[in-house]
A and B are shown apart, each in its own frame.
Chain A
Amino acid sequence: MPNSNEMFNPRPVLKFLDDSIIKKIITEARSILGNLGVEIHNKEILSMLHDHGAKVDMTKGHVLLTDDVIDDALKKTPRSFKLYDVLGNETHDFSGYEVHFTPGSAALNILDSNTQEIRRPTTEDYVRYAKLVSQLQNIASQSTAFIPADVHEHISDSYRLYLSLLYCEKPVVTGAFTVEAFTVMKELQVAVRGDEDGLAAKPLAVFSCCPTSPLKWSEVTSQNVVDCARFSIPVEFISMPLSGFMAPVTLVGTLVQHTAETLSGIVISQLTKPGAPVLYGGSPAIFDVRYETTPMGAIGTQMIDCAYNEIGKYLGIPTQAYISLSDAKQLDAQAGLESSMGATLAALAGINNISGPGMLDFESCQSLEKLLLDNEICGMALRLTKGIQPKEDFPALPRFEELLKEQHLLISEHTQKYLKEELYFPGPVIDRANRPRWQDEGSSTLLQRAQKEVEKLIEHYAPSRLPDTIKRELTKIMSEEARRCGMSDLPRIDV
C-alpha cells in the first residue's frame, strides 16, 4: 500500500488536452506564424523583429516568425512572477496551479444598484466599486472594471487606474486605450512605488494587451506591449479568436489560432526586454451564429479557455482568462449558472489570473450586486481547489469516543481548529436559513440581499492606507493629465 502522505496531492485538476495534442497545436501555430505570419502596424516593432532575424515586409507591415525567433522568446519568458498591493505587500504568486480572481474589466455600462437598469457609469460608481472590491475576500485584485463617462475620453483609462490606486489597496488589472495614456498610467504606478526600479521590483498592475483576430496587432496594443516590457510591467495577452467566425469552428482550430496570436505577443514582449513578466491569457469565444454574439458563458468558450491555459502551462508560462462571467442582462439564474460554471472550471484548470466576476452582457456591463455574489462563487471555487485531505482524522477512534461522550462535536478542539479552514461559509447573499427564518427575515430575494450587503460594505469601507503624500501626488499627476486634455477640474471626490 502506498504511503498516502507522500504520494497524494489533494488539489483536483481538470485537463482537456494531453501532451501529444498540445505539441501538435503548438506545431501548427508555429507553422502559421512561419508561413502566413502576423500583421503588426508598428514600424519600430517590425524593425526590432527584423534585427532579431524575423522575415519582415516593412511596406506591408507583415512579419514571418521563424521557429528560432519563437524559441528565443520562449526561453526568455519568466516561469512565474508576483504582484504586490499599493503598500508593497505580496498578494499574487502567478505560478503553478495558484489561482486568483479579479473582476471583469473595462465595461462600458453599469447595472444601477437601485433600479437595476443599465446606464453609463460615473466617478461615484467607480468609487463605490473600489470601496466594495477592497472588502471582497475572494477577489484578489481590483480591475479597472468599467469606464467612468464623466471624464474626457482621453483620460478614461488612466482615470480608472487613478481612482483604483486612491481607494483600494489591491493590485490592479488594467489596460491603456492609447499609446500616450500608457505614460501617465506608468507615472501613477511609479508615484506609488517611489521610482521605476521600485515598480519593476514589485509590480502593481497587469496590463491587458489585445491582438486583433486573425493574426494582427494594432499600433496601440503592440506599442503597449513594448512599453510595458521596457518598465517590467506585467502584460496579459488577450487573444480573441471567435470560433466559426474569425477562427475555425472547432475548439482545436480556435486553440491553434489563439496559440499563434499569443506566441506573437510573447515574441514582441521578450525581444523588447528578456524576462518581462507576461500572462498567457485570452478572451476567445465561440460565435453564436443565431444572434451574432460572442457568448462568454458558453460552455465551448469556457472549454477553450481552460485548454489554452493547459498550453500555456505546457510552455511554462503563467496563465489568465476571461471566464466566470455571464451574458445575462440581469442578476438572474443564468448569471449565476454561467459564472459559477466558469469559475469552477477555471479554478480546477489552474488558470492563474481569472478575470470575470461582476460582469454581464458580453463583457459590457458590471454589476456590484453580481460582483458580491461572484465573490461567494469564487470562495467556493477556491475551496474546491484545496481538495480533500486528512486533518488529524487518523486515527479516527478518539474523535468518535469524544462524539459519543459529549453527544456532539460543536465545541471540540478539532472542530474549533478546522471549522473555518475546512468548510466554506458564504456571506449573507447566499441563503442558508430554514424557511421560517428566511420568512422571518423578510423573504428576501438574492438581489435584495445583495443590494443590502453591497450598501453595508460600502458604508463600512476603511480608507486605503496609502500615505496621503502619495495620494496627493496621484491627484497632481491626474489633474495635470486632465488639464492637458482640456478638463479644468476632475470630478469631486472625497478621499
Chain B
Amino acid sequence: MQILQEISEVLQSGNGEKVAALTKQAIEKEILPKDVLDKGLIAGMNIVGEKYRSHDLFLPEVLLAAKAMYAGMDILKPLFLKDGIPTLGRVVMGTVQGDIHDIGKNLVSIMLRGAGFDVIDLGKDVSPKKFVETARKEKARVIGMSALLTTTMVVMKRVIDLLRKEGLQGKIKTIIGGAPVSAEFAEQIGADAYGYDSMNSVDCIKRLMEKE
C-alpha cells in the first residue's frame, strides 16, 4: 500500500512529525494497526539498519529514524490495548554494578527499540539481583549487560551465575558488550552472545530469539 511505503520513507529520513501524521492517516483509512507497524514502521527501520551497515547512513540518522519510529508507535499503542503492541520480545538492559558508563548501553537500547524490541532499561550501576529479578518478573527473554571497566566486567559473570542458580540459564539469554569485553570473554563466563557495537547487538539478540 502506498501510504505504508510513504511511512517507511519518511521514517528513514527521520521526520517524526510526518511519520505521526501518516500513521494517523493510515489508521483513518482503516489499515490494520499491525500492518502499519510491520509494513510501515518496522520495514522502514529495517532499511535504516541495512543502510547503516553499508555506511550509507550514519549513527545520528539511525537515531533520528528511531525517534521518528517512536512517534508512530505512540499513535499505534492505544490500538493494541488488549494484548499490548506486538514486539520482537522483551530485553532487560543495564550497565553492571560499580560502573556508571552507560553511553554504549543507551545506544543499544535505542537501536533495540528501533528494531521493534520492548526494552526495560535499568540504567547504570545495576546489581546482579536486580537484573535477574526484573528479567523474571517482566518475562524478559534476554538480559543485555554493558561494562566499560576491566574491574566491573567481572560482575557480568555474577549475573550469569545467579541465573544458573535460579535455574533460569538458557531460558533467559544473556548478551554482553563494552570496550574491555570480547567474544572470548563471553564464552569464558558462559554468556550467550557478545555484541561489538549497537547494530551488531541487535543482530545478535535477533539470532538468540530465533534459536529458541
Residue numbers of A with Cβ under 8 A of B are 407-408, 410-411, 415-416, 419, 425, 427-428, 434, 436-437, 440
B 64-83 to A, binary, CB cutoff 8 A, 1 in contact else 0: 10010000000000000000
**In this complex, what residue of B is CB-closest to A407?**
B106
Residue from the list B60, B63, B194 in contact with A436, Cβ < 8 A: B194
**3 closest cross-chain pairs (CB), A and B:** A436-B196, A410-B60, A411-B63
- Which chain A residues border B64 with CB–CB below 8 Å? 411, 416
CB distance from A151 to the nearest CB of B (A): 39
- Which chain B residues border A408 with CB–CB below 8 Å? 103, 106
Q: Once the chains bind, are B60 and A434 in contact (CB under 8 Å)?
A: no
- Which chain A residues border B200 with CB–CB below 8 Å? 436-437, 440
**Measured between alpha carbons, how far is A425 from B182 in the docked complex, in Å?**
26
**Measured between alpha carbons, how far is A434 from B104 in the docked complex, in Å?**
14
Question: How many A-B pairs fall under 8 Å by CB?
Answer: 32
**Measured between alpha carbons, how far is A428 from B103 in the docked complex, in Å?**
25
CB distance from A346 to the nearest CB of B (A): 28
**Measured between alpha carbons, how far is A472 from B59 in the docked complex, in Å?**
46
Q: Once the chains bind, are B182 and A410 in contact (CB under 8 Å)?
A: no
CB distance from B56 to the nearest CB of A (A): 11
- Which chain A residues border B29 with CB–CB below 8 Å? none
**Measured between alpha carbons, how far is A419 from B59 in the docked complex, in Å?**
11
B32 interfacial contact with A, CB 8 Å: no
Evaluate whether A410 and B55 lie within 8 angstroms (CB atoms) in the complex, with A434-B196, A440-B196 already known.
Answer: no
**Measured between alpha carbons, how far is A437 from B195 in the docked complex, in Å?**
9
Residue from the list B58, B102, B106 in contact with A419, Cβ < 8 A: B58
Evaluate whether A437 and B196 lie within 8 angstroms (CB atoms) in the complex, with A419-B58, A425-B58, A428-B55 already known.
Answer: yes
CB distance from B178 to the nearest CB of A (A): 11
Q: Which of B86-125 contact A (CB under 8 A)?
A: 102-103, 106
Give me 14 A-to-B residue pairs in the complex whose CB atoms sit less than 8 angstroms apart, sorted by A's number.
A407-B102, A407-B106, A408-B106, A410-B60, A411-B63, A416-B64, A419-B60, A428-B55, A434-B196, A434-B197, A436-B182, A436-B196, A440-B196, A440-B200
CB distance from A413 to the nearest CB of B (A): 11
Q: Once the chains bind, are A415 and B60 in contact (CB under 8 Å)?
A: yes
Q: Once the chains bind, are B197 and A410 in contact (CB under 8 Å)?
A: no
CB distance from A420 to the nearest CB of B (A): 8
Secondary structure at the B interface, as helix, strand, loop or mixed, is helix
Evaluate whether A416 and B60 lie within 8 angstroms (CB atoms) in the complex, with A436-B182, A437-B196 already known.
Answer: yes
**Measured between alpha carbons, how far is A415 from B197 in the docked complex, in Å?**
21
**Measured between alpha carbons, how far is A415 from B102 in the docked complex, in Å?**
20
CB distance from B144 to the nearest CB of A (A): 16
**Measured between alpha carbons, how far is A407 from B102 in the docked complex, in Å?**
9
- Which chain A residues border B58 with CB–CB below 8 Å? 419, 425
- Which chain B residues border A437 with CB–CB below 8 Å? 196-197, 200
**In this complex, what residue of A is CB-closest to B110?**
A410
Q: Once the chains bind, are A410 and B59 in contact (CB under 8 Å)?
A: yes
B189 interfacial contact with A, CB 8 Å: no
**Measured between alpha carbons, how far is A425 from B61 in the docked complex, in Å?**
15
B21 interfacial contact with A, CB 8 Å: no
**In this complex, what residue of B is CB-closest to A436?**
B196
B183 interfacial contact with A, CB 8 Å: yes
- Which chain B residues border A419 with CB–CB below 8 Å? 58, 60
CB distance from B158 to the nearest CB of A (A): 24
**Measured between alpha carbons, how far is A425 from B59 in the docked complex, in Å?**
13
**In this complex, what residue of A is CB-closest to B103?**
A408
CB distance from B50 to the nearest CB of A (A): 14
- Which chain A residues border B102 with CB–CB below 8 Å? 407
- Which chain A residues border B55 with CB–CB below 8 Å? 427-428
**In this complex, what residue of A is CB-closest to B197?**
A437
**In this complex, what residue of A is CB-closest to B195?**
A436
**Measured between alpha carbons, how far is A434 from B183 in the docked complex, in Å?**
13
**In this complex, what residue of A is CB-closest to B200?**
A437
**Measured between alpha carbons, how far is A470 from B48 in the docked complex, in Å?**
41
- Which chain A residues border B106 with CB–CB below 8 Å? 407-408
- Which chain A residues border B182 with CB–CB below 8 Å? 436
CB distance from A408 to the nearest CB of B (A): 7
**Measured between alpha carbons, how far is A427 from B60 in the docked complex, in Å?**
17
- Which chain A residues border B67 with CB–CB below 8 Å? 411
Residue from the list A407, A410, A411, A436 in contact with B183, Cβ < 8 A: A436
**Measured between alpha carbons, how far is A59 from B176 in the docked complex, in Å?**
86
CB distance from A455 to the nearest CB of B (A): 15
Q: Once the chains bind, are B60 and A411 in contact (CB under 8 Å)?
A: yes
Q: Taking each of A416, A419, A436, which has the highest tally of chain B beta carbons within 10 Å of its own beta carbon?
A: A436
CB distance from A206 to the nearest CB of B (A): 34
**Measured between alpha carbons, how far is A416 from B55 in the docked complex, in Å?**
17
CB distance from A316 to the nearest CB of B (A): 43
- Which chain B residues border A425 with CB–CB below 8 Å? 58
**Measured between alpha carbons, how far is A64 from B64 in the docked complex, in Å?**
70
**Measured between alpha carbons, how far is A450 from B196 in the docked complex, in Å?**
24
**Measured between alpha carbons, how far is A192 from B19 in the docked complex, in Å?**
47
**In this complex, what residue of B is CB-closest to A415?**
B60
- Which chain B residues border A407 with CB–CB below 8 Å? 102-103, 106
- Which chain A residues border B63 with CB–CB below 8 Å? 410-411
CB distance from B204 to the nearest CB of A (A): 11
CB distance from B36 to the nearest CB of A (A): 24
**Measured between alpha carbons, how far is A415 from B106 in the docked complex, in Å?**
18
Q: Which of B153-212 contact A (CB under 8 A)?
A: 182-183, 194, 196-197, 200
B 28-63 to A, binary, CB cutoff 8 A, 1 in contact else 0: 000000000000000000000000000100111001
CB distance from A306 to the nearest CB of B (A): 34
- Which chain B residues border A434 with CB–CB below 8 Å? 196-197
**Measured between alpha carbons, how far is A434 from B199 in the docked complex, in Å?**
13
**Measured between alpha carbons, how far is A440 from B195 in the docked complex, in Å?**
11
Q: Taking each of A410, A419, A425, A437, which has the highest tally of chain B beta carbons within 10 Å of its own beta carbon?
A: A410
CB distance from A404 to the nearest CB of B (A): 13
**Measured between alpha carbons, how far is A60 from B102 in the docked complex, in Å?**
82
**In this complex, what residue of B is CB-closest to A412?**
B60
CB distance from A171 to the nearest CB of B (A): 29
Q: A410-B59, A427-B55, A440-B200 are in contact. List 18 more A-B contacts (CB 8 A).
A: A407-B103, A407-B106, A410-B60, A410-B63, A411-B60, A411-B63, A411-B64, A411-B67, A419-B58, A419-B60, A428-B55, A434-B197, A436-B182, A436-B183, A436-B196, A436-B200, A437-B196, A437-B197
**Measured between alpha carbons, how far is A408 from B55 in the docked complex, in Å?**
21
- Which chain B residues border A415 with CB–CB below 8 Å? 60
**Measured between alpha carbons, how far is A419 from B63 in the docked complex, in Å?**
14
**Measured between alpha carbons, how far is A428 from B64 in the docked complex, in Å?**
23
